[in-house]
Structure 1
Amino acid sequence: MIGAVWQRARRFAQREDGVATLEFVLTFPAMMMILLSSIEVGMMTLNHSGLERAMDLTVRDIRLSTGTAPQYDEIKDRICQRAGFIKDCGNNLKLEMVQVDPRDWVGVSREATCTDASKEVQPKTTFKNDAKDNELMILRACAKIKPIFPTTGLGKKIKKDGAGQYALVSTSVFVQEPR
Protein backbone atom coordinates (compact mmCIF):
# COMPACT_ATOMS: atom_id res chain seq x y z
CA MET A 1 0.00 0.00 0.00
CA ILE A 2 2.80 2.41 0.89
CA GLY A 3 4.59 1.43 -2.32
CA ALA A 4 1.53 2.47 -4.37
CA VAL A 5 1.47 5.88 -2.68
CA TRP A 6 5.19 6.39 -3.38
CA GLN A 7 4.72 5.29 -6.99
CA ARG A 8 1.88 7.81 -7.52
CA ALA A 9 3.92 10.56 -5.86
CA ARG A 10 6.90 9.79 -8.12
CA ARG A 11 4.72 9.88 -11.25
CA PHE A 12 3.16 13.16 -10.14
CA ALA A 13 6.59 14.74 -9.54
CA GLN A 14 7.81 13.69 -13.00
CA ARG A 15 4.87 15.24 -14.88
CA GLU A 16 5.53 18.53 -16.63
CA ASP A 17 2.07 19.63 -17.71
CA GLY A 18 0.71 22.64 -15.77
CA VAL A 19 4.13 24.21 -15.24
CA ALA A 20 3.18 27.41 -17.09
CA THR A 21 0.09 27.75 -14.92
CA LEU A 22 2.22 27.50 -11.80
CA GLU A 23 4.57 30.24 -13.01
CA PHE A 24 1.60 32.46 -13.83
CA VAL A 25 0.00 31.92 -10.42
CA LEU A 26 3.26 32.76 -8.64
CA THR A 27 4.27 35.83 -10.66
CA PHE A 28 0.93 37.45 -11.61
CA PRO A 29 0.13 39.00 -8.19
CA ALA A 30 3.62 40.52 -7.92
CA MET A 31 3.47 41.91 -11.46
CA MET A 32 0.01 43.41 -10.86
CA MET A 33 1.17 45.04 -7.62
CA ILE A 34 4.13 46.59 -9.44
CA LEU A 35 1.87 47.79 -12.28
CA LEU A 36 -0.76 49.31 -9.97
CA SER A 37 1.90 50.93 -7.76
CA SER A 38 3.52 52.42 -10.87
CA ILE A 39 0.21 53.97 -11.90
CA GLU A 40 -0.26 55.32 -8.36
CA VAL A 41 3.24 56.85 -8.32
CA GLY A 42 2.65 58.39 -11.75
CA MET A 43 -0.57 60.08 -10.65
CA MET A 44 1.01 61.17 -7.37
CA THR A 45 3.90 62.75 -9.29
CA LEU A 46 1.52 64.42 -11.74
CA ASN A 47 -0.54 65.94 -8.91
CA HIS A 48 2.53 67.04 -6.96
CA SER A 49 4.26 68.64 -9.94
CA GLY A 50 1.00 70.46 -10.78
CA LEU A 51 0.80 71.78 -7.22
CA GLU A 52 4.47 72.83 -7.27
CA ARG A 53 4.04 74.67 -10.57
CA ALA A 54 0.86 76.39 -9.39
CA MET A 55 2.65 77.50 -6.22
CA ASP A 56 5.64 78.83 -8.20
CA LEU A 57 3.45 80.83 -10.59
CA THR A 58 1.29 82.21 -7.79
CA VAL A 59 4.26 83.23 -5.63
CA ARG A 60 5.80 84.87 -8.69
CA ASP A 61 2.58 86.88 -9.13
CA ILE A 62 2.70 87.90 -5.46
CA ARG A 63 6.35 88.98 -5.72
CA LEU A 64 5.82 91.00 -8.90
CA SER A 65 2.57 92.71 -7.93
CA THR A 66 3.96 95.26 -5.50
CA GLY A 67 1.58 97.41 -3.53
CA THR A 68 -1.10 94.74 -3.15
CA ALA A 69 -1.56 92.17 -0.42
CA PRO A 70 -3.58 89.25 -1.80
CA GLN A 71 -5.91 87.57 0.66
CA TYR A 72 -6.18 83.87 1.56
CA ASP A 73 -9.10 83.10 -0.77
CA GLU A 74 -7.53 84.94 -3.70
CA ILE A 75 -4.23 83.05 -3.40
CA LYS A 76 -6.08 79.75 -2.97
CA ASP A 77 -8.18 80.43 -6.09
CA ARG A 78 -5.07 81.23 -8.14
CA ILE A 79 -3.36 78.01 -7.04
CA CYS A 80 -6.48 75.95 -7.76
CA GLN A 81 -6.87 77.45 -11.24
CA ARG A 82 -3.31 76.49 -12.10
CA ALA A 83 -3.18 73.05 -10.43
CA GLY A 84 -5.48 71.36 -12.90
CA PHE A 85 -5.24 67.74 -11.75
CA ILE A 86 -6.21 68.26 -8.10
CA LYS A 87 -9.85 67.24 -7.72
CA ASP A 88 -12.11 69.49 -5.64
CA CYS A 89 -9.15 71.79 -5.04
CA GLY A 90 -11.22 74.44 -3.26
CA ASN A 91 -12.12 72.02 -0.46
CA ASN A 92 -8.93 69.94 -0.43
CA LEU A 93 -6.33 72.73 -0.34
CA LYS A 94 -5.19 74.57 2.77
CA LEU A 95 -2.67 77.42 2.84
CA GLU A 96 -0.34 78.64 5.53
CA MET A 97 1.66 81.88 5.26
CA VAL A 98 4.17 82.80 7.95
CA GLN A 99 6.56 85.72 8.29
CA VAL A 100 10.06 84.69 9.44
CA ASP A 101 13.14 86.60 10.48
CA PRO A 102 16.21 85.29 8.60
CA ARG A 103 18.54 86.61 11.32
CA ASP A 104 16.65 84.87 14.14
CA TRP A 105 15.36 81.80 12.32
CA VAL A 106 12.37 80.01 13.77
CA GLY A 107 11.00 77.93 10.93
CA VAL A 108 7.52 76.56 10.46
CA SER A 109 6.44 73.28 12.00
CA ARG A 110 7.49 70.07 10.26
CA GLU A 111 3.88 68.90 9.97
CA ALA A 112 1.83 70.83 7.44
CA THR A 113 -1.70 71.75 8.41
CA CYS A 114 -4.01 69.99 5.99
CA THR A 115 -7.72 69.47 5.56
CA ASP A 116 -9.29 66.28 6.89
CA ALA A 117 -12.66 65.35 5.41
CA SER A 118 -13.32 62.91 8.26
CA LYS A 119 -13.21 65.69 10.90
CA GLU A 120 -15.11 68.91 11.45
CA VAL A 121 -14.11 71.97 9.46
CA GLN A 122 -11.03 73.64 10.92
CA PRO A 123 -10.52 77.42 10.88
CA LYS A 124 -7.92 78.97 8.62
CA THR A 125 -4.33 78.45 9.68
CA THR A 126 -1.70 81.10 10.27
CA PHE A 127 -1.91 83.49 7.37
CA LYS A 128 0.02 86.74 7.66
CA ASN A 129 -0.20 88.84 4.51
CA ASP A 130 0.52 92.25 6.05
CA ALA A 131 4.31 91.99 5.93
CA LYS A 132 6.47 95.07 5.67
CA ASP A 133 8.86 95.68 2.79
CA ASN A 134 11.76 93.23 2.42
CA GLU A 135 10.41 90.70 4.92
CA LEU A 136 10.82 86.97 4.33
CA MET A 137 7.58 85.01 3.92
CA ILE A 138 6.95 81.25 3.78
CA LEU A 139 3.88 80.04 1.92
CA ARG A 140 2.95 76.38 2.34
CA ALA A 141 0.10 74.61 0.56
CA CYS A 142 -1.26 71.20 1.50
CA ALA A 143 -3.60 69.36 -0.85
CA LYS A 144 -5.38 66.13 0.05
CA ILE A 145 -5.67 63.49 -2.69
CA LYS A 146 -7.50 60.16 -2.78
CA PRO A 147 -5.34 57.26 -3.98
CA ILE A 148 -6.45 55.54 -7.18
CA PHE A 149 -5.91 52.05 -5.74
CA PRO A 150 -6.32 52.47 -1.96
CA THR A 151 -6.16 48.74 -1.20
CA THR A 152 -3.19 47.72 -3.36
CA GLY A 153 0.56 48.34 -3.29
CA LEU A 154 1.59 51.94 -2.70
CA GLY A 155 -1.99 53.15 -2.22
CA LYS A 156 -2.28 50.79 0.74
CA LYS A 157 1.07 51.69 2.34
CA ILE A 158 1.03 55.50 2.06
CA LYS A 159 0.07 57.48 5.17
CA LYS A 160 -3.59 58.52 4.92
CA ASP A 161 -6.03 60.47 7.08
CA GLY A 162 -9.40 59.28 8.37
CA ALA A 163 -11.05 59.94 4.99
CA GLY A 164 -8.46 57.84 3.14
CA GLN A 165 -6.60 60.78 1.55
CA TYR A 166 -2.85 61.44 1.50
CA ALA A 167 -1.19 64.86 1.72
CA LEU A 168 0.81 66.62 -0.98
CA VAL A 169 2.76 69.56 0.45
CA SER A 170 4.44 72.37 -1.45
CA THR A 171 6.44 75.16 0.19
CA SER A 172 7.70 78.38 -1.30
CA VAL A 173 9.68 81.25 0.18
CA PHE A 174 9.70 84.83 -1.07
CA VAL A 175 10.67 88.32 0.04
CA GLN A 176 7.97 90.97 0.21
CA GLU A 177 9.02 93.51 -2.40
CA PRO A 178 9.09 97.22 -1.55
CA ARG A 179 5.93 99.04 -2.48
Structure 2
Amino acid sequence: MTRILRNRLNSFRAKEDGSVVVPFALWVPLFLILILSSIELGTVTIRQTALERALDNTVRDIRLGAVTAHSEIKQSICDGAAVLPSCMDTLHLEMVSLDMRDWGGVIDAADCTDTAQSVTPNRSFQNGNANEMMLLRACYKYQPITPAGTISSSLSKDAQGYTALVVSSAFVHEPS
Protein backbone atom coordinates (compact mmCIF):
# COMPACT_ATOMS: atom_id res chain seq x y z
CA MET A 1 0.00 0.00 0.00
CA THR A 2 2.82 2.37 0.87
CA ARG A 3 4.68 1.51 -2.32
CA ILE A 4 1.60 2.27 -4.48
CA LEU A 5 1.09 5.59 -2.74
CA ARG A 6 4.80 6.44 -3.11
CA ASN A 7 4.78 5.53 -6.83
CA ARG A 8 1.72 7.69 -7.49
CA LEU A 9 3.24 10.60 -5.58
CA ASN A 10 6.51 10.33 -7.53
CA SER A 11 4.67 10.16 -10.85
CA PHE A 12 2.54 13.20 -9.84
CA ARG A 13 5.71 15.12 -8.93
CA ALA A 14 7.38 14.26 -12.27
CA LYS A 15 4.48 15.52 -14.40
CA GLU A 16 4.56 19.11 -15.68
CA ASP A 17 1.00 19.31 -17.04
CA GLY A 18 -0.32 22.02 -14.68
CA SER A 19 2.84 24.12 -14.43
CA VAL A 20 1.20 27.15 -16.11
CA VAL A 21 -1.66 27.36 -13.62
CA VAL A 22 0.42 28.86 -10.79
CA PRO A 23 1.81 31.87 -12.74
CA PHE A 24 -1.62 32.38 -14.32
CA ALA A 25 -3.28 32.44 -10.89
CA LEU A 26 -0.70 34.93 -9.63
CA TRP A 27 -0.66 37.34 -12.60
CA VAL A 28 -4.32 37.48 -13.71
CA PRO A 29 -5.59 39.34 -10.60
CA LEU A 30 -2.86 41.96 -11.04
CA PHE A 31 -3.78 42.49 -14.69
CA LEU A 32 -7.49 42.70 -13.82
CA ILE A 33 -6.75 45.35 -11.19
CA LEU A 34 -4.68 47.26 -13.76
CA ILE A 35 -7.48 47.09 -16.35
CA LEU A 36 -10.17 48.18 -13.86
CA SER A 37 -7.96 51.03 -12.62
CA SER A 38 -7.44 52.21 -16.18
CA ILE A 39 -11.19 52.18 -16.87
CA GLU A 40 -11.93 54.04 -13.62
CA LEU A 41 -9.22 56.64 -14.23
CA GLY A 42 -10.43 57.18 -17.80
CA THR A 43 -14.01 57.64 -16.63
CA VAL A 44 -13.01 60.14 -13.93
CA THR A 45 -10.86 62.06 -16.41
CA ILE A 46 -13.66 62.25 -19.00
CA ARG A 47 -16.18 63.41 -16.39
CA GLN A 48 -13.81 66.02 -14.92
CA THR A 49 -12.91 67.37 -18.36
CA ALA A 50 -16.55 67.52 -19.47
CA LEU A 51 -17.58 69.32 -16.27
CA GLU A 52 -14.75 71.87 -16.58
CA ARG A 53 -15.56 72.59 -20.23
CA ALA A 54 -19.30 72.91 -19.52
CA LEU A 55 -18.61 75.28 -16.61
CA ASP A 56 -16.29 77.43 -18.75
CA ASN A 57 -18.88 77.67 -21.53
CA THR A 58 -21.61 78.52 -19.02
CA VAL A 59 -19.46 81.22 -17.40
CA ARG A 60 -18.97 82.70 -20.87
CA ASP A 61 -22.77 82.75 -21.30
CA ILE A 62 -23.18 84.36 -17.87
CA ARG A 63 -20.69 87.10 -18.77
CA LEU A 64 -22.61 87.74 -22.01
CA GLY A 65 -25.90 87.84 -20.12
CA ALA A 66 -27.42 84.83 -21.89
CA VAL A 67 -28.13 82.91 -18.65
CA THR A 68 -28.86 84.46 -15.26
CA ALA A 69 -31.05 82.23 -13.09
CA HIS A 70 -29.77 79.33 -11.01
CA SER A 71 -31.88 76.77 -12.89
CA GLU A 72 -30.68 78.11 -16.28
CA ILE A 73 -27.05 77.93 -15.19
CA LYS A 74 -27.47 74.39 -13.89
CA GLN A 75 -29.27 73.31 -17.07
CA SER A 76 -26.57 74.92 -19.23
CA ILE A 77 -23.81 73.04 -17.39
CA CYS A 78 -25.69 69.73 -17.61
CA ASP A 79 -26.41 70.25 -21.32
CA GLY A 80 -22.73 70.95 -21.96
CA ALA A 81 -21.60 67.87 -20.03
CA ALA A 82 -23.74 65.15 -21.55
CA VAL A 83 -21.47 62.37 -20.20
CA LEU A 84 -22.56 63.09 -16.62
CA PRO A 85 -25.41 60.74 -15.69
CA SER A 86 -28.26 62.26 -13.64
CA CYS A 87 -26.51 65.62 -13.74
CA MET A 88 -29.53 67.73 -12.73
CA ASP A 89 -30.01 65.63 -9.58
CA THR A 90 -26.41 65.48 -8.35
CA LEU A 91 -24.91 68.79 -9.51
CA HIS A 92 -24.73 71.50 -6.87
CA LEU A 93 -23.81 75.09 -7.71
CA GLU A 94 -22.38 77.79 -5.50
CA MET A 95 -21.85 81.37 -6.69
CA VAL A 96 -20.42 83.97 -4.34
CA SER A 97 -19.17 87.51 -4.70
CA LEU A 98 -15.48 88.09 -4.05
CA ASP A 99 -14.45 91.42 -2.56
CA MET A 100 -10.98 92.11 -3.94
CA ARG A 101 -10.43 95.13 -1.65
CA ASP A 102 -11.38 93.41 1.61
CA TRP A 103 -10.35 89.83 0.89
CA GLY A 104 -11.98 87.38 3.24
CA GLY A 105 -10.94 84.33 1.29
CA VAL A 106 -13.03 81.58 -0.21
CA ILE A 107 -14.38 78.61 1.71
CA ASP A 108 -12.13 75.71 0.69
CA ALA A 109 -14.67 72.93 1.08
CA ALA A 110 -17.19 72.77 -1.73
CA ASP A 111 -20.85 72.52 -0.85
CA CYS A 112 -22.02 69.31 -2.51
CA THR A 113 -25.41 67.65 -2.81
CA ASP A 114 -26.29 65.41 0.11
CA THR A 115 -27.68 62.30 -1.57
CA ALA A 116 -29.30 61.14 1.67
CA GLN A 117 -31.67 64.13 1.65
CA SER A 118 -34.33 64.77 -0.95
CA VAL A 119 -33.37 68.46 -1.34
CA THR A 120 -30.12 70.15 -0.37
CA PRO A 121 -30.42 73.94 -0.07
CA ASN A 122 -27.84 76.21 -1.68
CA ARG A 123 -25.18 77.52 0.65
CA SER A 124 -24.93 80.71 -1.33
CA PHE A 125 -25.97 81.78 -4.79
CA GLN A 126 -25.72 85.46 -5.67
CA ASN A 127 -26.00 86.66 -9.25
CA GLY A 128 -23.83 89.74 -8.70
CA ASN A 129 -23.75 93.21 -10.24
CA ALA A 130 -21.73 94.89 -12.98
CA ASN A 131 -17.93 94.88 -12.47
CA GLU A 132 -18.24 92.48 -9.55
CA MET A 133 -15.81 89.57 -9.17
CA MET A 134 -17.70 86.28 -8.81
CA LEU A 135 -16.72 82.68 -8.05
CA LEU A 136 -18.86 79.90 -9.50
CA ARG A 137 -18.17 76.45 -8.10
CA ALA A 138 -19.85 73.25 -9.29
CA CYS A 139 -19.80 69.98 -7.39
CA TYR A 140 -20.94 66.81 -9.16
CA LYS A 141 -21.41 63.58 -7.22
CA TYR A 142 -21.22 60.17 -8.88
CA GLN A 143 -20.90 56.50 -8.00
CA PRO A 144 -17.50 55.01 -8.93
CA ILE A 145 -17.53 52.11 -11.40
CA THR A 146 -15.60 49.81 -9.08
CA PRO A 147 -16.50 50.83 -5.53
CA ALA A 148 -14.57 48.07 -3.76
CA GLY A 149 -11.15 48.37 -5.27
CA THR A 150 -8.61 49.84 -7.64
CA ILE A 151 -8.34 53.61 -7.94
CA SER A 152 -11.76 54.40 -6.49
CA SER A 153 -10.70 53.06 -3.10
CA SER A 154 -8.31 56.01 -2.73
CA LEU A 155 -10.97 58.63 -3.60
CA SER A 156 -12.86 60.24 -0.74
CA LYS A 157 -16.49 59.10 -0.51
CA ASP A 158 -19.53 60.08 1.50
CA ALA A 159 -21.70 57.71 3.55
CA GLN A 160 -23.63 56.54 0.45
CA GLY A 161 -20.45 55.78 -1.53
CA TYR A 162 -20.55 58.85 -3.81
CA THR A 163 -17.38 60.64 -4.92
CA ALA A 164 -17.34 64.36 -5.76
CA LEU A 165 -15.82 66.21 -8.70
CA VAL A 166 -15.38 69.91 -7.95
CA VAL A 167 -14.60 72.60 -10.53
CA SER A 168 -14.63 76.35 -10.12
CA SER A 169 -14.29 79.45 -12.22
CA ALA A 170 -13.90 83.11 -11.34
CA PHE A 171 -15.15 85.90 -13.58
CA VAL A 172 -16.09 89.56 -13.58
CA HIS A 173 -19.58 90.65 -14.58
CA GLU A 174 -19.32 92.94 -17.59
CA PRO A 175 -21.22 96.22 -17.36
CA SER A 176 -24.39 96.41 -19.44
TM-score range with shorter-chain normalisation?
Answer: 0.7 to 0.9
Structure 2 gaps, min length 5:
none
CA distance in 2, matches of 1:116, 1:17: 56
Cα distance in 1 for residues equivalent to 2:111 and 2:90:
12
The residue that corresponds to 2:139 in the other structure is 142
User: Equivalent pairs: percent with the same residue?
Assistant: 43
1:84-140 deviation line (CA, Å, top 9, x unaligned) = 0111111100000010112332222111111121235221220011x2321110000
CA contact (8 A) 2:61 2:67 kept: no
Contact 1:93 1:143 in 2 (8 A): yes
Q: Over the residues paired in the alignment, what is the CA RMSD in angstroms?
A: 2.2
Structure 1: state its 5+ residue gaps: none
Give the residue type in structure 1 aligned to 2:160: A
Deviation at 1:50, TM superposition (A): 0.6
Shift of residue 150, structure 1, vs aligned partner: 1.2
What secondary structure does 2:37 align onto? helix
CA distance in 1, matches of 2:15, 2:106: 66
Larger displacement relative to structure 2 (29-38 or 105-114)? 105-114
Contact 1:116–1:162 (CA under 8 A) maintained in structure 2: no
CA–CA separation in structure 1 for the residues paired with 2:107 and 2:75: 24
Distance 1:138 1:79 in 2: 15
Q: Which residue does the alignment assign to 1:108?
A: 106
Report what 1:126 is aligned to.
124
Partner of residue 96 from structure 1, selected from 94, 98, 120: 94
Residue in structure 1 matching 2:173, options 158, 171, 176: 176
Residue 20 of structure 2: SS of its match in structure 1?
A: helix
Q: TM-score, normalised by structure 2?
A: 0.87
Measure the CA separation in 2 of the matches of 1:103 and 1:75. 27
> Pairwise mapping of residues 68-83 of structure 1 onto structure 2 (< 5 A)?
70-83=68-81
Which stretch of structure 1 is more off in the superposition, 21-30 or 151-160?
A: 151-160
Aligned residue pair count:
170
- Partner of residue 59, structure 2: 59
Alpha-carbon distance between aligned partners in 1 of 2:171 and 2:73, rounded to the nearest angstrom:
14
Q: What do the CA deviations read for 1:23-50 (whole angstroms, capped 9, x no partner)? A: 1111111110110011011011111111
Name the structure 2 match of 1:151: 148
